[in-house]
Amino acid sequence: MTLARHLGAALVIAVIVVLLSIQLSAYRDYQLAEVAAYLVAVAGLTVLIGLSGQISIGNGAFMAVGGYASALLLTHLGWNLVLILLASVVVAAAAGAIFGVAAARLRGPYLAGATLMLAVALPTVADQFQHQLGGDQGLSVAITPPGFLGGSFPPTRWQAWVTCAAALITLILLANLNRSRVGRSWRAVRDDEIAASLSGLNVARLKVLAFIISAACAGLGGALLAVVTGIVAPGAYTLTLSIALLTAAVLGGLGTLPGALWGSLVLVLVPTYLTNVGSSHGLSSAASSSVPIAAYGVILIVVMLVFPSGIQGGLRRLFGSATPMPPVLSRRRIPFTALRRPAPGRENQEEGPS
């Protein structure tokens, strides 16, 4: 039943996206594709944080894994796009599994620290394997629209279709997962691990599973972004990206899929919009290139002060329960649960001298 409803909604959205992409200018299609690519990654992260209660500052590294996997498969094996995207999901999921198992015993700030290490270390791998990974220059990912669309079909519209389709499929799967037994178990683990394990849930396995799924989403997002921008290079996957993903998830509203959409929109549109505003008000290039960074900080502070549960939470509060949707993923409002430190007493029990 749930699946049917989600599929119906997705179909409606797909039609809207196709119609819109035809109306929009080529550059807006490009931005739409970027938003969809980031949306996949942010959605995976918001599930990890909001549902399973773990935190990752390293999902940018999984995006790199997906991006490089797709570039390598394209250059060396020449697979078709769908296969490449699926393969990058699998590769990133495998990377997530390895890391997830290794980090399964870590929690809160310690887990964050471990993922932080991943975000810092992984991009430099490209420099170690100059020949295979192209060093700082990276690898190019040149994908052209398929022939049946005709030679004059705008490439950016096709990119928007591909990324939006991938994003929709991801969102349907995540929304269903949330309504499934796994989603309920995650929430149980998030709210109280001890109670969950007393009820017979395998806490460690559930946490690793959440990590794998979020890594898989990041991998797909990275592969899509590589297709859109036409390049994978280590400069794109620095710590800044991982933090930007986290910021987008928090800004949008943790644990909600529409929140992931708001977050991705802010991530893509705010910087370009503000650079344009800066330069059209006569600021020098150097000055207007600093405006987005400053504004991003201001937006973050304002949203966190006014809407502690993110943009989606704010919308829900403004319009009451009637208009916008209740949270897809969670019935409770969870302002940044993952960073909530356990009560001091509990912490001592958990991490006391052993």
Site residues for other proteins per CB under 8 A: 2, 5-6, 8-9, 12-13, 16-17, 20, 23-28, 30-32, 34-35, 124, 127, 130, 135-138, 140, 142, 156, 225, 229-231, 233, 235-236, 258, 261-262, 265, 268-269, 272-273, 275-277, 279-280, 284-286, 289-290, 323-326, 328
CA–CA separation, 302 and 261 (whole Å) = 19
Nearer to other proteins, 44 or 145 (CB): 145
Nearer to other proteins, 24 or 339 (CB): 24
Between the alpha carbon of residue 265 and those of residues 39, 48, 127, the distances in Å are 8, 20, 31
Nearer to other proteins, 111 or 220 (CB): 220
Nearer to other proteins, 68 or 211 (CB): 68
| Antiparallel, parallel or unpaired: β 231-232 and 139-140 | antiparallel
Least distance to other proteins from the beta carbon of 287, Å?
9
Nearer to other proteins, 104 or 169 (CB): 169
Least distance to other proteins from the beta carbon of 29, Å?
8
Between the alpha carbon of residue 163 and those of residues 106, 158, 211, 215, 352, the distances in Å are 34, 9, 23, 18, 47
Residue 309: name the closest of 247, 262, 253 by CA: 253
Least distance to other proteins from the beta carbon of 195, Å?
26
Residue 47: name the closest of 202, 186, 160, 181 by CA: 186
Neighbours of 331 (CB within 10 A): 8
Looking only at Cα atoms, what is the longest distance across the chain? 68
Nearer to other proteins, 109 or 230 (CB): 230
294, with CB counted inside 10 A (0-12, 13-18, 19+), is exposed
DSSP code for 140: E
Least distance to other proteins from the beta carbon of 42, Å?
13
Nearer to other proteins, 29 or 193 (CB): 29
Structure tokens at 220: 């797909």
Nearer to other proteins, 35 or 118 (CB): 35
Strand segments, DSSP code E, in 20-75 are none
CA–CA separation, 346 and 349 (whole Å) = 5
Least distance to other proteins from the beta carbon of 58, Å?
18
Nearer to other proteins, 128 or 354 (CB): 128
Least distance to other proteins from the beta carbon of 280, Å?
8
Structure tokens at 10: 């997705």
* Residue carrying structure tokens 């699998």: 90
Least distance to other proteins from the beta carbon of 230, Å?
6
Rounded to a whole number of angstroms, the CA Rg of the chain reads 20
- Which 3 state secondary structure label does DSSP give 232? strand
Structure tokens at 72: 């390598």
Least distance to other proteins from the beta carbon of 92, Å?
18
Least distance to other proteins from the beta carbon of 169, Å?
14
Contact 105/207 with Cβ under 8 angstroms?
Answer: no
